[in-house]
Amino acid sequence: MAHPTVAVLERNLTVYRRVWRASVMSSFVLPVLFLLSIGLGVGGYVGEVGGVDYLAWIVPGVLAVTAFQMAVGECTYAVLGDFKWVRSYHAMRATPVAIRDMIAGWLLYILLRVEIAVVVFLGVTAAFGALRSPWALVTPLIAGLLALSVAAPVTAFAATIEHDTYFALLFRFVMIPSTLFAGVFFPVEQLPDVIKPLAYASPLWHAVELCRAATLGGAPPWPVLLHVAYLAAFAVAGLAWAGRAFRARLQD
């Protein structure tokens, strides 16, 4: 018998095998099209940012935001649905699968989805000559840490609510502002001073800066270990919250 965590991962992969076609556009095609339209199209008017052409500057941001949006999107309706409508987690609870296995198996599935999309995206950008340093090879690790730091708390959030209308608030007031103001499209230094702390508080900003330092061969604005520690703290806090949320939800 497979380890319970592996069994949960296999279950999620089996479900995804039936619906994978619906995610091809958002996971693989749209990021590449976005890169071409913004990086090459708009980049022709922008010119250089920080001494490098706009395409090379925006690539790490698009890579990180792809992982960020995938992690947020995958951990909303799917988690709530498995609690409220499908009740898959209740079925798992009646087996030797522990709550930690449910969470670990789910997050492993998210990491696998994100890593595949990131590696494909990285290969496309390399073909366009947008990677300026061999350190770009560590960006999948950064994207994985970002995905975990986002997926864990969003999974916990989805496990605590009863109505999917709350997801609109999550998308509108968390995901979209983070995407726009976390240094993906322009330097955070251009933001008003009152807004900058909100950008620094976003896990996405830390991942964008790490990815940018890796692809361009420079140094991030904060020490690398500080960026990594911030993302890891989000992941640990999210895991703790998810554990409590799953236990409370599975008592009914």
Tokens of 83: 């609690």
Q: Is the pLDDT of residue 206 over 90?
A: yes
∠ at Cα 213 (72, 194), nearest 5°?
65
In percent, the amount of the chain with pLDDT more than 90 equals: 72
The domain tally of the chain equals 1
How does DSSP assign 205-226, residue by residue?
HHHHHHHHHHHHT---SS-HHH
Query: 241-251 pLDDT, tens per residue?
Result: 999 999 999 98
* Separation of alpha carbons 239 and 107, rounded Å: 10
The model's confidence at residue 26, banded by pLDDT at 50, 70 and 90, is low
| Residue range of the domain that includes 64 | 4-249
Query: 216-241 pLDDT, tens per residue?
Result: 998 998 999 999 999 999 999 999 99
Q: H helices within 3-51, ranges in order?
A: 4-19, 24, 30-34, 43-46
* Separation of alpha carbons 222 and 230, rounded Å: 11
In this predicted structure, what is the pLDDT of residue 40?
A: 66
Average pLDDT over residues 28-42: 71
Query: 109-143 pLDDT, tens per residue?
Result: 999 999 999 998 888 888 878 888 999 999 999 99
Query: 128-185 pLDDT, tens per residue?
Result: 788 889 999 999 999 999 999 999 999 999 999 999 999 999 999 999 999 999 999 8
Query: 69-85 pLDDT, tens per residue?
Result: 999 999 999 999 999 99
Reading phi first (left if > 0) and then psi (alpha if -120 to 50, else beta), residue 161 is in beta
